[in-house]
Structure 1
């Protein structure tokens, strides 16, 4: 969060050679389970060692190809053309390994997976990328990365080539083409989730792993959306993936700079940059509490209610006034919000960032607002409404041009806390939490992008 400085752009006006798409950053979502029903022989992969990693990659590539063979004609009115230039697995730990197209030496692939448009080929690092993804996020992460790269092959067949991007960079900025590839990957995962894949089985319980991989590949905090190599922040990448999952390939193919909003921002002040966009825990609580009161007061009054400011009570133990809501709780009987300030919340704040704290607080104040307009604060609808309202508050602070507002990285912190914890999606009794994290992010995004109307309040 930042306390002051002018915001350069508003949400409503943000525009949503090789294609190297992996940039590992810190992050530790929980890895998912195995996703294969049966592996494919990787003999068709050039440079393969035939091992488990390439077996998983071969399985993913095979089923992604089947997906596009089925889907491409209905999306674009033409038959799917398989990759002409081949598939390459590169052991970057071996100095004698043969380099794939678009590279001069094997080490050029280190830490990367990419689509080479000039050769119509896909390559990956078998030694230092795919095993890392598998270990940290499970098999689904490997599948997502390769589905994303095949998405770039789809773009090439759409005419979105490096030459087209160079001729008209304003029409095809990198952040847009990356979002489109994430979107195509989401459409593929929905196809798998619907049971149409011959070799893969990725259920809703493994979608959190997919989102964890996208978070890993986000741009460093503070990267400008106009950066020539920008791929998007975690919120934008997850949004594109979820849009593909929900809307399908035709939606992805229709993405343009005119219809695609992006939230990624550069830092607007040296102070904010030096803090990494994060306020100290105590300062965050002092700043956000009155801001939440002011926001929800206006919201309740616009819905015809009368806002009674809930008391904000600090506690050194986890709140237990109304079931287990986590380190922040709305207490209906006391009409207060209890905030644990000694262990769990400060630790979460330090681990993820200040807006992890912000999202939890915004959701509990959302329950307070719901109670004051006569909406039930228990049950699944209440848990959903509170999380959605946290999204609407996030929309408000994001779009401010001055004063208390979001810093670059805050929306990514929101995605991480929602993916990892269900606190912000519990009702006032501590139950009815939304699962999985994929669903929690979806509801939160609805509030951020669509406003109060999507929450059933006001």
Structure 2
């Protein structure tokens, strides 16, 4: 977080071009995942396959993704689905003698990458340094999501969103939009699998969380300019697109455009913020955010015709226990205070994920304080949902500010990461009710970010 100045407004997009190189790893927090196959498919149709477990998983995914589009494409576009006619390629980038797939000059061009080649209507991936890494870090679901995303680009090609169209009308088809659409299509496919319609795949709530963990890994580096021709979107935008596809379906994805789709991608606007990686030190973060939260929620409560009493932000050396187990930050109904553990867990989480991981946890407890002030209950599932949603609404406020305390590039990604990994921000005032899985927590938070307090039933 940082002091805000005149900068990008919420959901602005100005990206320019599309590339075929689409899935490349950047550092991210691993999320455990489980196997998603119930029986595998012979990978013999994959060119360059070694017949091993990775290509068996990929073949299974590709087979069911193709089956999905056999039904979804006619329903969406009123045209029959045309399977890939350029082939599927598995490339051992560790083998100097490996043959290059289409759109490349040598096998090493595929290293750490998976992509759709529009000129050949083909999909290729690195069997040595990408898919095994995804599987080890995030489970089978990550491999499935990557391949569903690449098939999404094949769908775009059939829609007429070709490289020629992108070069001719870069403002109409910026890279960040086409990548979001592919993420959206992948989400629609996963919903189809989750509904039990897939012959070979079974993706439950736990593996959904791992899939989102993989999307975070594929985000743009923090501070990437929205005008960068290779920008693909931050974690918040990519997860948002995936969830929209999961919830809304392929017709929604196909209708995405620069006119109806916004993005939160930002570049750094100051050298100081860039040098800090967009993060304030732990103590400074608490000093900045607690009075800001007080001002924000005082405004909401006053607008509702109620009286706001500023919660006393109390630092503690141990995890708060004033009202059940809420994690390292707790709202204490008895004295209307917010206790913040400042010695171990919260500072470690701050250092591991970033300053807005701390921000989301504290904001959700102030959300409980606001709910209590307007006479709403602070116990149970509805309270847990409301607190998290209000943390999202506060996030919307600080993101859109032109001056004062505001978000830095990467803060929204930190929110997604902490919500996937922990349920602290989604617990009620007793700690006994919480929202799960992480996929659902991100959905609730997104509602507050995109719609404000109206999504939370307050204001």
Q: Normalised by the size of structure 1, how large is the TM-score?
A: 0.99
**Contact 2:24/2:114 (8 A) holds in 1:** no
Cross-structure match for 2:53:
52
In structure 2, what is the Cα distance between the partners aligned to 1:15 and 1:434? 35
In structure 1, the gaps of 5 or more residues are: none
The more displaced of 8-17 and 23-32 is 8-17
> What is the 5 A alignment of 1:134-149?
134-149=135-150
Q: CA shift at 1:7, angstroms? A: 3.5
Instruction: Say if 2:43 is the partner of 1:10.
Output: no
CA RMSD of aligned residues (A): 1.0
Which residue in the other structure is 2:354 paired with?
Answer: 353
| Counterpart-to-counterpart distance in 2, 1:23 and 1:348 | 26
Deviates more, 1:89-98 or 1:18-27: 18-27
Change in Cα spacing, 1:214 to 1:410, as seen in structure 2 (3 Å) is same
Written as runs of structure 1 = structure 2, the 5 A alignment for 1:177-188 is 177-188=178-189
Q: Deviations over 1:9-52 (max 9, x none)?
A: 21155579752112212222322110001100000000000000
Partner of 1:238: 239
Matched with 1:167 is 168
User: Against the structure 1 CA distance between its residues 14 and 156, is the aligned structure 2 distance closer, same or farther, given a 3 Å change threshold?
Assistant: closer
2:15 aligned with 1:34: no
The answer to whether the 8 Å contact 1:15/1:262 transfers is no
Corresponding residue SS for 1:3 = strand
User: Distance in 2 between the 1:62 and 1:211 partners?
Assistant: 22
- Aligned pairs for 1:26-175 (under 5 A) are 26-175=27-176
CA 298–129 in structure 1, closer or farther in 2 if over 3 Å, else same: same
Residue 225 of structure 1 and its aligned partner are, at CA, apart by 1.7
CA distance in 2, matches of 1:227, 1:65: 32
Structure 2: tracts of 5 or more residues without a match: none
Taking the aligned partners of 2:244 and 2:311, their CA distance within structure 1 comes to: 36
Find the aligned partners of 2:425 and 2:304 in 1 and give their Cα distance. Answer: 23
Q: Distance in 2 between matches of 1:224 and 1:331?
A: 41
SS of match in other structure, 2:2: coil
8 A Cα contact 1:419 1:440, kept in partner = yes
Matches of 2:11 and 2:196 in 1, distance apart?
Answer: 37
- Three-state SS of the structure 1 residue aligned to 2:84 is coil
Structure 2 residue matching 1:22: 3-state secondary structure: strand
Rounded Cα–Cα distance in structure 2 between residues aligned with 1:436 and 1:46:
38
Q: Residues 115-160 of structure 1: CA distance to partner in whole angstroms, max 9, x if unpaired?
A: 0000000000000000000000000000000000000000000000
Asked if 1:408 corresponds to 2:409, the answer is yes
- On the 8 A contact 2:118/2:162 being kept in 1, the answer is yes
Q: What is the alpha-carbon distance in structure 2 between the residues aligned to residue 76 and residue 221 of structure 1?
A: 36
Instruction: Judge conservation of contact 1:211–1:238 (CA < 8 Å) in 2.
Output: yes
Query: Do the aligned residues in 1 keep the contact of 2:385 with 2:426 (CA within 8 Å)?
Result: yes
Give runs of aligned pairs for residues 227-266 of structure 1, distance below 5 A. Answer: 227-266=228-267
- Counterpart CA distance in 2 for 1:214 and 1:32 is 13
